[in-house]
Structure 1
Amino acid sequence: MGTDHGHGHGHGHAVSADADRRYLIGALALILGYMAAEVTVGLVANSMALIADAAHMLTDASAIILALIAMRIAARPATGRYTFGYKRVEILSAQINGATLLLLAAYFVYEGVQRVIDPPDVKGPLVLVTALAGVAVNALAAWLLSKANRRSLNVEGAFQHVLNDMYAFIATALAGLVVWLTGWAQADAVAALVVAALMAVAGWGLLRDSGRVLLQAAPSDLDPDEIGAVLAAEPEVLEIHDLHVWTVTSGYPTLSAHVIVRDDCGTCHDVRGRLASLLHERFGIEHTTLQVDHGGEPHCFDPHGPRHLGGTPRG
């Protein structure tokens, strides 16, 4: 038989997990320290925007803790029935972070609308000073998280929490300034609505990207039809089918395919090696599993997905 099964593995050049953990722990310490102070000031100032920011900071802290736990679990080696290990725990963490942002957005929309209708007395100067301090704290925390490996949706989820919190503090600071200078108390509620909108955008983005991974969709930067056409255009290749491109976890694209080659092309092992190198160099896919058969040999009679002949995909 000319069947040859092969695969290649790659580890990439991502920032080490130890360094990522240090950045996350540093950001967590900043957030927890400031959050405690903000809750107190928010109650004294009677500011919904500050309390919303404090609640967002609580979710920031939870997101970072969840990310740290997920990183530790994902680092466990593949054993038993978990043949890919626990790498997708990081994607579940991103899903939880995204869902949390959407739930918070819904809550603050409700509270913000109530306060637009019936605004309380808000202490503008206290809100302004506290929010400006929050901008500085979140900017530093976001900077720390930006130095970690944001190709991981797990880390990206924590980063989006903190980045949105920084934007929220900017909105709150502007609200405090408006209340202080004009006495328009509804500005605090408007700021809370702006915060809710930012949360919703970030939350939806995380759910969408992590959902693609869980549904085993091709990565957004890889087109399976283009890949199939490029492989089929190689001189030795007669047909490509059963082509699957998916992501085990963020930054870990994976490909499998059934390759039919000419009878006179030489050994299947050599062809597989050349195709694997092509996939790595052209598309950055390092983990590949290719089944290679000669054209005259029996192979699957019910191929899945498009068949790529001579570089042209056909349904």
Structure 2
Amino acid sequence: MPNPRSSHDRHGYDHHHVGGHDHDHSHLPVVTEDNERKILLSFLIIFAFMFVEAVGGYLSGSLALLADAGHMLTDAIALGLAYAAFRLGRRAADGQRSFGYARFEVIAGFVNALTLFGIVAWVLYEAVERFQNPGPVLAGSMFVVALTGMLVNLFVLWFLTRGDSDHVNVKGAVLHVMGDLLGSVGAIVAAGAIWFTGWTPIDPILSVLVSLLILRSAWSLLKNTLHILLEGAPANASSSEISEHLRAAVPGLQNASHIHIWSLTSGRVLATLQVQPADGADIRHVIGQVEHELKTKFQIEHPTIGIDWDGNAGCSLDAPGQAMAAHTGHAH
């Protein structure tokens, strides 16, 4: 005889063990007003000086400064996406967008990655032209702009690392600014070499090196955003790894199947799966342990767990020893 609490209670029961829709997000980074303020101010400074460096590169004839301005654009993009993620993350989900607007960050990142490839192509084309037809470079102007850029990046780096710097978006911004700092130092060295030796080919050579930094950032951004948009699993949470770990770590679990893992956006991982408890196992305890392992071992924010009832007529739903009639199919 079917359990009178069958479909509705089983559905509620499954979600009760993943938080009853009051999910525990304590493992997620805390978005503070201080984080938002740091990211916004850093974005405004970097974005504004990017134009200064681009104009300085054009007036001084330095392709290295123009390339470094492109690198600063990658920093501005990273900071802008981080701030957008903070702000859009506050918008409530609705009936049409049950996950809210979190994926906006991924879509914007994908578009920006394609833009960066275009910048790299232009810089490389200009570098080849400079090698074939060298032009004058105003080393003094180049040095002043590059030195100012280094000071700007040092200030932004200092500002970002004050106080709470554990948030994933803040950490990412720090890495971008450090990369741009290296580009500014390189431009200073090139300006000095041109000033003392007059050897202008170092300028397009340096621009190619900076372009490689941009290309590396663009490729990483494109690869990561495409992986998320294609519903790819995080590197540490493949379906086979999860299945093997759960069977070894959860007593009373016979099998875990139909495992699907995907990232909603950077740092937010979701999963659905079905578990088959062993005969006589306490299902509530098994589900609770599975949820615990998914959250602590694989950092899965929202696991949705269904129960495979096949061949488990002796399993207990409410308490050990309470018999349950066999039910063919999957309850979710």
Using structure 2 for the length normalisation, give the TM-score: 0.79
Q: Secondary structure at the match of 2:14?
A: strand
**Structure 1 residue 5 and structure 2 residue 14: aligned?**
yes
The CA deviation at 1:108 is 0.6
Query: Which residue in 2 is equivalent to 1:303?
Result: none
Note if 1:218 corresponds to 2:233: yes
For residues 32-181 of structure 1, the aligned pairs below 5 Å read 32-58=47-73, 60-61=75-76, 63-145=78-160, 151-152=168-169, 162-181=177-196
Determine the C-alpha separation between the residues in 2 that align with 1:118 and 1:133.
29
Is the 2:71–2:210 Cα contact (8 Å) retained in structure 1? no
Corresponding residue for residue 268 of structure 2 = 252
2:211 corresponds, among 186, 190, 196, to 196
How far is the alpha carbon of 1:56 from its aligned partner? 4.0
Q: Using the TM superposition, give the Cα deviation of residue 285 of structure 1 relative to its aligned residue in structure 2, in angstroms.
A: 2.6
Alignment partner, residue 305 of structure 1: none
* Letter paired with 2:261: V
Tell me, yes or no, if the aligned pair for 2:239 and 2:261 is still in contact at 8 Å. Answer: yes
Deviation at 1:33, TM superposition (A): 4.4
Tell me the residue number matched to 2:247.
232
Q: Which residue of 1 is the match for residue 328 of structure 2?
A: 298
Look up the equivalent residue of 2:91 and give its one-letter code: R
Structure 1 251/66 Cα, relative in aligned 2: closer, same or farther at 3 Å? closer
Q: Is 2:33 aligned against 1:18?
A: yes
- Count of aligned residue pairs for this structure pair: 297
CA deviations over 1:32-69 (Å, ceiling 9, x no partner): 44345434433432222223333443554455345434
Kept in 2: contact 1:24–1:144 (CA 8 A): no
Q: What's 2:280 paired with?
A: 264
Q: Is the 8 A contact 1:97 1:157 kept in 2?
A: no
What SS does the aligned partner of 1:44 have? Answer: helix
SS at match of 2:265: coil
Structure 2 CA distance for partners of 1:148 and 1:82, relative to 1, 3 Å = farther
| Higher relative contact order, structure no. (Cα contacts within 8 Å, ≥ 6 residues apart) | 1
Unaligned runs of 5+ in 1: 301-315
Separation (CA, whole Å) in 1 of partners of 2:198 and 2:108: 42
- Name the aligned partner's letter for residue 238 of structure 1: Q
Q: Distance in 1 between matches of 2:268 and 2:158?
A: 25
The answer to whether the Cα contact below 8 Å between 2:274 and 2:307 also exists between their aligned partners in 1 is: yes
Q: In 2, Cα distance between the equivalents of 1:245 and 1:35?
A: 39
Q: What secondary structure does 1:248 align onto?
A: strand
Greater displacement, 99-108 / 188-197: 99-108
Per the alignment, in what secondary structure is the counterpart of residue 168 of structure 2?
coil
* Deviation, structure 1 residue 117: 1.2
Q: CA deviation at 1:94?
A: 2.3
> Judging changes above 3 Å, is the alpha-carbon distance between structure 1 residues 17 and 250 closer, same or farther for their aligned structure 2 residues?
farther
Q: Report % sequence identity.
A: 32
8 Å CA contact 1:243, 1:257 repeated in 2: yes
Partner amino acid, structure 2, of 1:130 = V
**Structure 1 residues 216-240: Cα deviation after superposition (integer angstroms, max 9, x where no partner):** 1111122321210122233322221
Residue 281 of structure 1, CA deviation: 3.1
Coordinate RMSD, CA, aligned: 2.6
Task: State the Cα deviation string for residues 168-220 of structure 1 (Å, max 9, x = none).
Answer: 22221121122112111111111111111110011101111222211111111
Q: Distance in 1 between matches of 2:99 and 2:291?
A: 20
